[in-house]
Amino acid sequence: MRIALFSTCIVDAMYPATARATVEILERLGHTVIFPTGQACCGQMHVNSGYFKDALPVVRNHVAAFSHGDYDVAVAPSGSCVASVKHQHPMLAHRCGDAGLAADAEEVGAKTYELSQLLTDVLDVTNAAEQLGSYFPHKVTYHPSCHGMRLLRLGDRQRNLLESVDGLEFAPLPEADQCCGFGGTFSIKNSDVSTAMLEDKADSIEASGASLCAGGDASCLMHIGGGLSRRGSQARTVHLAEILASTRDNPLVIPEAQGGVVVLNGGTR
Amino acid sequence: MSINLGIPAVRTRGEGNLFAHEKFPTAAKRELKNQQLRANLRHATHTIRDKRINVVSELPDWEDLRESGSRIKENVMARLPELLEQFEAAFTARGGVIHWANDATEANAIVTSLIRATGETEVVKVKSMATQEIGLNEHLESLGINAIETDLAELIVQLGHDRPSHILVPAIHKNRTQIRDIFRAEIPNASPDLTDNPKELAATARAYLREKFLNAKVAISGANFGIAETGTLGVVESEGNGRMCLTLPETLITVMGIEKILPRWEDLGVFMQLLPRSSTGERMNPYSSLWTGKNGQDGPQNIHLVMLDNGRTRALADKNGRSALHCIRCSACMNVCPVYERTGGHAYGSTYPGPIGAILSPLLTGITAEENSSLPYASSLCGACFDACPVKINIPEILIDLRAQDVEAQHSVRKAPTEMDVLMKGASWALSSGTRLKFLEKGLPAGRLLAGKDQRISWLPGIAGGWTSSRDIPAPPQSSFRDQWAQREKFQKSQGPQLFQQSQASPKPTGKQGE
């Protein structure tokens, strides 16, 4: 299968290791990954902030980059960006009366999958240890991000994949379904409320006893990880794709936290 | 004969208690500091939330019920003028008198004149959102008419000279001890030794209210439903105090929003299942009262209904927002909202707090009214409200639409762009081309310098400082993914196909920081 990678803007610029891990998993399964270089961002930040006019060129760019391409399906390691591609792009195209854009956006949306969705529903991966060789000997808890959970209805797909990783000890997260408080520009415009939500999420992660909190959205992980870092917590965040890509031969190494300083799942890998 | 539906040519802007008087972030910041409030709210919302999940999961056809509720309401919104006429004819035929009010001022004036005609100066009230919306109690008080709330929680709020902070549990922000103090101070015959034992508190309120019920000649109620087919009004409640008001006095005045109409009697079957489960987490309402006009010599003999617009036709004209009028005031959205849970209802300013308030208030008043433009931003768009809503109001989608209305309205009046405008414009330019993003990502190493030795960015200027006030940003990587991908492509051309990890541009893991 030819699979087009949508790296998302935040992964492209801040978390390239997550994109590399995504490619690695898919190539390990024998698929060909392509990277449409015209891509940049889904425009979710603009749409969610009410800047529809500024969102339109971003959406046009994404739809153009992925339209009529030589690939079977597209994948992104982010539930919220996939939800934006599937729901917001056609909505915005209809709003501005561009029927051509709407049709293309619908087509791109229908072919775009979140990573766990693609693995589970299309590529029949149900056991990461057996099918991907995934090995990650750490105690891990899991935060299901809101858009994956409620807009894409990912259900237990991400969690099931995590739990099937060799060596991984799964620790349930108390009140897992509660929003972490990121919400894009909400974290800036309503910073105090966002922080209060983040504090509770960080408390839950620490209460889980896990040293790592996994998730499927780099943006939520950046938010949660940023809060954990600020409070000097030993816990940190890691993207699901990087756990799945980790093997016995080439394990994802989590450096020790030193003096309360936490290195997030950023450029190092 | 033509019927005046009270729908004006120029759409009425809702008035009364529908406005935030300060921006949500400012109000929220203050409320967040109230630890007692947060603890009370957390306890109460989580209790109701868990009860709701339990009773909802008992019904295998819950999703079908939601869909039915949503469809019935859509149908109502599409045929509202026709249904209102049908309701008026049926209600009038059974001895009721109907009054149409464009706004809060008209509604208050109508109710006042009806009370004055009876010569009474004290009336009992059934808990009602519509009368809170129009500020009826305060209006009557200013004219020397005492309106006594009979719903226990509403009474607590009223005696405490406070405002309700939740649709279902108006005194959600008060604990037992606070309630005891209010009763001791405000109920004339309350024992000075009154404790905070719930039984004692209830008995004190009961004795006080019984006397009021038996002496009242006039009652004021809201209505949960109005059935167009039969002209029936309905109120659902939990204590039976509402029923006392609805049956004992001679005159009954109901104030109902025009959107509360249901077409048929049988539609009640859907809503009587949806409402109690969503609001109190119960299978059915303890007290469901329905009245259709006068009944012989029994019960109230003067039956009035004030049909309230107050911005509802304005909301109805908003094709993306009109489904907010589907709301049956169950409060399920506020019980699951992480923002409401932490700020409480007062932060929203309006009678309608929480997620539904964040859309309903600006829809009724217009987005530019007072500080209501800050309400649609009071959400992380987590979507829990949409999932919980028994009539499937897509609150997140309407929030986004109202944000767009706000941005447009702001842009039309403002000359200089705000920092957010500049940020969004710049991001739009950068993120609408792979080439531009690639160019900008060349600056990532500079971000690493900014992060310094401890590999994190802890301070940013301007609005981005909202982020770094409580969160770090990790040091950016050496290079972007697209650069690493391009390097691999180059590598593969000369060396043949390789798995990504073996050919990756960034260093191999060493277990040390900062590589």
Question: With contact defined as beta carbons under 8 Å apart, do B37 and B344 qualify?
Answer: yes
pLDDT value, residue B165: 82
Distance from CA of B261 to the nearest CA of A (A): 30
pLDDT reading at B105 higher than 50: yes
Q: Give the pLDDT confidence of B347-393 residue by residue, as tens digits.
A: 999 999 999 999 999 999 999 999 999 999 999 999 999 999 999 99
Give the pLDDT of residue B461: 87
A137 and A115 housed in the same domain: no
- Residue B67 CA neighbour count, 13 Å, CB half: 4
Minimum mean pLDDT among A94-103, A156-165, A260-269: which range?
A260-269
Q: Which residues of A touch B454 (CB under 8 A)?
A: 261
Instruction: Grade residue A258 by pLDDT with cuts at 50, 70 and 90.
Output: very low
* Helices assigned H by DSSP within B282-350: 312-316, 332-336, 338-343
Over residues B251-278, the mean pLDDT reads: 97
Q: How many percent of chain B have pLDDT more than 90?
A: 81
Residues 6+ apart with CB under 8 A from B307: B6, B84, B98, B99, B100, B101, B256, B258
Residue finishing a domain among B298, B324, B350? B324
Closest to A123 measured CA to CA, from A234, A244, A231, A206: A244
User: Do residues B284 and B336 make contact, with C-beta atoms less than 8 angstroms apart?
Assistant: no
Q: What is the pLDDT of residue A181?
A: 97
Domain identity same for A254 and A137: yes
Q: Which whole-number Å values give the CA distances from A153 to A85, A182, B47, B139, in the listed order?
A: 15, 19, 25, 48
Tally A–B CB contacts below 8 A.
247
Domain membership flag for residue A185:
yes
pLDDT band at B143, cuts 50/70/90?
Answer: very high
Predicted pLDDT at B178:
92
Q: Assess whether A141 and A202 both reside in one domain.
A: yes
Q: Do A197 and B436 make contact, defined as CB atoms within 8 angstroms?
A: no
Considering only CB atoms, A192 lies closest to which of B25, B406, B441, namely B25
Question: What percent of chain B stands above pLDDT 70?
Answer: 95
A43 and A69 share a domain? Answer: yes
Q: How far is CA A12 from CA A174, A257, B440, B485, B504, in A?
A: 31, 25, 12, 10, 14
- Please give the pLDDT value at position A25: 97
- Cβ-nearest to B432 among A61, A196, A252: A61
What is the predicted pLDDT for the residue at B496? 81
B149–A contact, CB cutoff 8 A:
no
Q: Which of A55, A85, A120 is the last residue of a domain?
A: A120
Residue A269 lies in a domain: no
> Is B309 among the domain residues?
yes
User: With 60 as the cut, is the pLDDT of residue A151 above it?
Assistant: yes
A261 → chain B, closest CA residue: B454
- Looking at the fold, whether A202 and A179 belong to one and the same domain comes out as yes
User: Does B377 fall in a domain?
Assistant: no
For residues B169 and B44, the answer to whether their CB atoms sit within 8 Å is yes
Q: Are B386 and A54 inside 8 Å of each other by CB?
A: no
Q: List strand residue ranges (DSSP E) for B408-472, in order.
A: 456-457
Do A207 and A139 belong to one domain? yes
Determine what percent of chain A falls in helix, strand and coil, rounding each to the nearest 5.
50, 10, 40
Q: Which of B405, B441, B514 faces A13 most closely, judged by CB atoms?
A: B441
- Look at residue A268 and tell me if it is in a domain: no
Q: What separation in angstroms does the CA of A4 have from each of A27, A33, A34, B268? A: 12, 6, 5, 51
The answer to whether the CB of B324 falls within 8 A of the CB of A178 is no
Determine, yes or no, domain membership for A112.
yes
Mean pLDDT, chain B, rounded, equals 92
Q: Which residue of chain B has the CA closest to A13?
A: B480
Pick from B249, B243, B242: nearest CA to B217 = B249
CATH of the domain at A216: 3.40.50.1860
> In whole angstroms, what is the distance from residue B164 CA to residue B291 CA?
27
Q: Rounded mean pLDDT of chain A?
A: 94
Q: In the structure, what pLDDT confidence band is assigned to residue A255 with cuts at 50, 70 and 90?
A: confident
> pLDDT grade, residue B224 (50/70/90)?
very high
B331 pLDDT band, cuts 50/70/90, is: very high
* Structural domain includes residue B349: no
Q: pLDDT of A52-79, one tens digit each?
A: 999 999 999 999 999 988 999 999 999 9
Helix (H, G, I), strand (E, B) or coil at B404: helix
Q: Give CA torsion, residues B148, B113, B164, B142, to 10 deg.
A: -80
Contact A115, A241 (CB under 8 A): yes
Domain end among A64, A87, A120: A120
**Searching chain B, which residue's CA lies closest to the CA of residue A260?**
B454
**B83-100 burial: b if 16+ Cβ within 10 Å, else e:** bbebbbebbeeeebebbb
User: Does B357 reside within a domain?
Assistant: no
Is the CB of B383 less than 8 angstroms away from the CB of A13? no
* Short-list B308, B263, B232, CA closest to B74: B263
- Band (pLDDT 50/70/90 cuts) for residue B4 is low
Residue B403 lies in a domain: no
Structural domain range at position A84:
2-120
Q: Which domain holds residue B142?
A: 24-324
pLDDT at B357: 98
Contacts of B335 (CB under 8 A, 6+ apart): B45, B48, B49, B52, B388
**Amino acid type, B303:** I
Spatial separation of the C-alpha atoms in residues B326 and B74, rounded to whole Å: 7
What CATH number is attached to the domain comprising B89?
3.40.50.10420
A223 and A148 within one domain: yes
Average pLDDT of the segment spanning A37-65: 98
Q: How many domains does chain A have?
A: 2
Is residue A215 domain-shared with residue A131, that is, in the same domain? yes
Q: What is the distance between the terminal CA atoms of chain B, rounded to a whole angstrom? A: 84
Residue A257 pLDDT? 55
pLDDT of B463 reads 86
Indicate the number of domains in chain B: 2
Residue of chain B whose alpha carbon sits nearest to that of A28: B499
- CB nearest to B477's CB, from A183, A184, A267: A267
pTM to 2 decimal places: 0.94
In tens, the pLDDT along A87-107 reads: 999 999 999 999 999 999 999
Q: Does B383 touch chain A (CB under 8 A)?
A: yes
Q: Angle CA(B178)–CA(B181)–CA(B183) in degrees, nearest 5? A: 110
CA distance B487 to chain A (A): 13
Same domain, B308 and B441: no
Domain edge (last residue) among B324, B348, B378: B324
ipTM (interface predicted TM) = 0.95
Is B29 an 8 Å CB contact of chain A?
Answer: yes
Q: What is the mean pLDDT of residues B428-457?
A: 92
Contacts of A102 (CB under 8 A, 6+ apart): A90, A93, A94
